[in-house]
Amino acid sequence: MEETISKADFRDAMARVCAPVNVITSNGPAGQGGFTATAMCSVTDEPPTLLVCMNGKSAQCGLFLENRRFCVNVLADDHQELAGYFAGRQSDMSARYAAAKWVEMPSGSQALADAMVSFDCCLVEARLVGTHHIFIGQVVGIRSRPDGNALLYFDRAYINVPTQVGSFGG
């Protein structure tokens, strides 16, 4: 018989996985929203597609589903306070957006002006798995900056790792 993994054990193990910190934004017919997430990854490059995960209990789920668009903003190491705002430390959405400079993307979603990279996406599929919605988006626009260090999350804390230029292998 297979051993059942507890929620606490799984969460503790996942805390040991380093991930970039992202602010996911949306703007459209349902209004403006945004949240902080580390659950983001590429799906395919043909067509360019990525996914993000959002807690199904979030009051913003309906907004993201109705808007059918979102922008993934990969944060730089000086965005720790902004990450906290979008993680819920600031409940007022207009105050969250007032804490940074934004650029409108082709879809209408907001891109953080100084993000490491921003991926403007049209929602092509949404699926509820367990407690979270998986939003799959086709990338319709990209903005990036040439330098800087990403804000990372590891062991339940933000960390900064300097960018290393070089290659793998020997």
Confidence (pLDDT) at 170: 45
Confidence (pLDDT) at 1: 60
With a CB cutoff of 8 Å and minimum separation 6, the contacts of 59 are: none
d(CA 120, CA 143): 8
Share of the chain above pLDDT 70, in %: 94
pLDDT digits (tens, 9 = 90+) for 82-95: 999 999 888 899 99
pTM over 0.85: yes
Q: What residues are paired with 125 via a beta bridge?
A: 136
Domain 20-154: CATH class, spelled out = mainly beta
Confidence (pLDDT) at 157: 86
Whether residue 73 is predicted with pLDDT greater than 90 in this model: the reply is yes
Confidence (pLDDT) at 162: 63
User: What are the residue ranges of helices labelled H in the chain?
Assistant: 7-14, 61-67, 80-84, 93-98
Question: Are the beta carbons of 124 and 138 closer than 8 angstroms?
Answer: yes
